[in-house]
């Protein structure tokens, strides 16, 4: 029986092997693997309702019918595109590994998703958020270090919570980050982030660290929860969200907002696109180029406001 409670058949075994391939060969992170699992579980249920239990029984028309069913459910184009990508990955894997001869999903296209322009906070709003933790207690020191590091380095929340103490070299102002696909990058930290981490390491973290950590690896975690264990991604997001709510930014703050704000503000101040790409750990420059749209709009607003002939 599979982890979703269904019986094991040829398609179920293929799904298990595909998941192992995604984890081992492609090095996908846990969150990405979970997304694939949810999307392919939906696909498997669709096929099961039509008596299909083997990838060799899937036809092109069945895949088209599945995509039409997603549209009829009112799913967003981005969600449909993600699910279709998972389905195509499964069928390509089946061909590569020799389970089937042909790929019934090869000619199925996902709906086009408009390029989303990441939302960034204005610089004064970032300052309000970073100044939100009050006091000098261990929780405030931890939260201040988290916020400064997220904005100062542009790292993802999952990368932040995965940090070990040994990854931080405060003297050199560097932090070693493990990104998507287990790709490591070394990122410089700004003066304020270094100062916040120094205070957390010197005072806050020792107070929150138990004498005997409950789990292996907790003792090496940079950021701890109030029970002394490694802070989870969900826990870190709740902390950011809580401070945003206290300073009136709840509607503008979401998990990657400090990452996007870091990139946007650097580009607005003249940073090279390739430097920002390296900082954020983007595999493709096109991903980083999304931020240039924001900076161009920013320049347009400045010109409209400041140039004497912009309103002629």
Catalytic residue among 23, 128, 195, 282: 282
Pick from 65, 59, 111, 61: which is nearest to 85 by CA? 111
- 265 in active site: no
Distances (CA, A) of 132 to 150, 192, 225, 226, 239: 14, 15, 18, 19, 11
Helix (H) or strand (E) holding 304: helix 285-306
- Catalytic-residue membership of 259: yes
Bridge partners for 175 per DSSP: 168, 187
* Residue 220 and residue 202 in contact, taking contact as beta carbons nearer than 8 Å: no
Active site residue 156: yes
Strands 168-169 and 174-178, by their bridges, are antiparallel
Burial class (CB in 10 A: 0-12, 13-18, 19+), 59: exposed
In the set 176, 256, 290, 298, the catalytic residue is 256
d(CA 165, CA 225): 15
Catalytic, 307? Answer no
CA 65 to chain centre: 31
Active-site entry in 156, 205, 230, 243: 156
Beta bridge partners of 177: 185
Catalytic position from the list 44, 144, 243, 259: 259
Catalytic residue among 180, 233, 246, 298: 180
Cβ neighbours of residue 288 under 8 Å, at least 6 residues apart? 263, 273, 276, 277, 280, 282
| Residues belonging to the active site | 156, 180, 256, 259, 282, 291
């Amino acid at each position: 029986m599979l982890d979703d409670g269904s019986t094991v058949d040829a398609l179920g075994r293929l799904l298990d092997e595909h998941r192992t391939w995604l984890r081992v060969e492609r090095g996908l992170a846990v969150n990405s693997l979970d997304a694939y699992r949810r999307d392919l579980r939906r696909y498997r249920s669709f096929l099961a309702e039509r008596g299909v239990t083997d990838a060799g029984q899937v036809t092109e028309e069945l895949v088209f019918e599945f995509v039409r069913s997603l549209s009829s459910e009112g799913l967003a184009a981005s969600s449909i595109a993600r699910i279709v990508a998972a389905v195509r990955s499964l069928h390509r894997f089946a061909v590569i590994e020799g389970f089937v001869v042909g790929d019934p999903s090869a000619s199925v296209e996902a709906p086009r998703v408009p390029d989303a322009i990441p939302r960034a906070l204005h610089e004064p709003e970032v300052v309000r958020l970073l100044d939100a933790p009050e006091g000098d207690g261990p929780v405030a020191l931890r939260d201040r270090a988290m916020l400064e590091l997220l904005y100062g380095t542009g790292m993802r929340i999952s990368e932040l919570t995965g940090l070990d103490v040994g990854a931080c070299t405060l003297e050199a102002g560097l932090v070693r980050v493990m990104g998507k696909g287990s790709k490591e990058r070394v990122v410089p930290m700004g003066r304020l982030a270094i100062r916040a981490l120094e205070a957390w390491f010197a005072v806050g973290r020792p107070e929150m660290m138990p004498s005997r950590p409950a789990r292996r690896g907790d003792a090496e975690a940079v950021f701890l929860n109030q029970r002394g264990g490694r802070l989870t991604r969900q826990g870190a997001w709740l902390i950011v969200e809580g401070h945003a709510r206290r300073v009136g930014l709840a509607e503008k703050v979401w998990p990657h907002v400090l990452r996007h704000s870091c990139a946007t503000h650097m580009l607005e101040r003249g940073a090279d696109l390739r430097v920002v790409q390296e900082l954020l750990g983007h595999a493709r420059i096109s991903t980083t180029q999304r931020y240039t749209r924001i900076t161009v709009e920013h320049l347009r607003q400045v010109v409209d406001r400041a140039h004497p002939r912009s309103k002629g």
